[in-house]
Chains A and B, each alone.
Chain A
Amino acid sequence: EAQVTQNPRYLITVTGKKLTVTCSQNMNHEYMSWYRQDPGLGLRQIYYSMNVEVTDKGDVPEGYKVSRKEKRNFPLILESPSPNQTSLYFCASSQTGGYGYTFGSGTRLTVV
C-alpha cells in the first residue's frame, strides 16, 4: 500500500531533550515536507526537500532540523524542544510538480 509512515504517533517529552520524528514513504516520491498544525493557525510548512541532500526552509523552520540522506526518509529533528513546539506534526510526500501530496497520519508532540 502506498503510504507515508510517521513515528511515533504520540510523544510527550521534556524541554531540552533531543528527539527525532521519523518519516518514510514507499512511493519513490521526490518531494517531502514537514508541517505543523496548530489551532487557529492552520498548517504551516517547517521544511521541505526536493530530492536527496536538497532541503530548504519553509515558513517556520526555527528550532527544527531535517536531513534527506535517502529518498524514502525525511526525519524531523528537534535538538532542544521547547513548549511552543507542542503541536500536531505531519509529514507529506509528492511526485514532482503538478501532483497532490500524500500525508502521514500525524505525530502529536507535547513538550512539558
Chain B
Amino acid sequence: SQQGEEDPQALSIQEGENATMNCSYKTSINNLQWYRQNSGRGLVHLILIRSNEREKHSGRLRVTLDTSKKSSSLLITASRAADTASYFCARPSNFGNEKLTFGTGTRLTIIP
C-alpha cells in the first residue's frame, strides 16, 4: 500500500489530557505533513516538518520525526473539545511536493 500507517485508528481522551498519534511510512521523504479534518469537511494543514528536522512546535501541537525509524508523531497538549477531528499524516511520494500520499487517519474524540 502507498498509504501510511497511523496508530491508533481511534482515540478517546478526557478534555485536558494530551493526545498522541503516530504515523509510519515506508520510503524516504523530504517532508511530512499533518492535517486535521472535521467531520465531512475539508482538510486543514496543521504543520510540516522537513526531513532534517527532529521536532517542531506550533501552539499546542508538537510534531517529531525520526527518519531512521520512518515514523512521526503528533502530540496535542491540553486537549479541548474543539480538537475532536480526524488527523492525517501525509508525505510526498515523489521528489517534489505535488504527489502527496495520505495515511488512513486517527479519529480523535475529546470527552468534555
Contact = CB atoms under 8 A, between A and B. Distances in A.
A105 B97 contact: no
Given A50-B96, A94-B97, A100 B42 contact: no
Contacts of A97: 30-31, 92, 96-98
B100 interface: yes
Interface string A24-66: 0000000101010000111111001110000010110000000
Interface string A101-112: 111111010000
Interface residues of A, number: 32
B65 to A, nearest CB: 14
A80 interface: no
Contacts of A58: 99
Given A59-B101, A100-B33, 18 more contacts: A31-B98, A33-B98, A35-B102, A41-B104, A43-B88, A43-B102, A44-B102, A48-B98, A48-B99, A58-B99, A90-B43, A97-B92, A98-B48, A98-B50, A99-B48, A101-B35, A104-B42, A106-B41
Interface of A: 4, 31, 33, 35, 40-45, 48-50, 56, 58-59, 88, 90, 92, 94, 96-106, 108
23 contacts: A31-B97, A41-B104, A42-B102, A42-B103, A42-B105, A43-B88, A43-B102, A45-B101, A49-B98, A58-B99, A59-B101, A90-B42, A90-B43, A94-B98, A97-B98, A99-B48, A99-B97, A100-B35, A100-B45, A100-B46, A100-B48, A102-B45, A105-B42
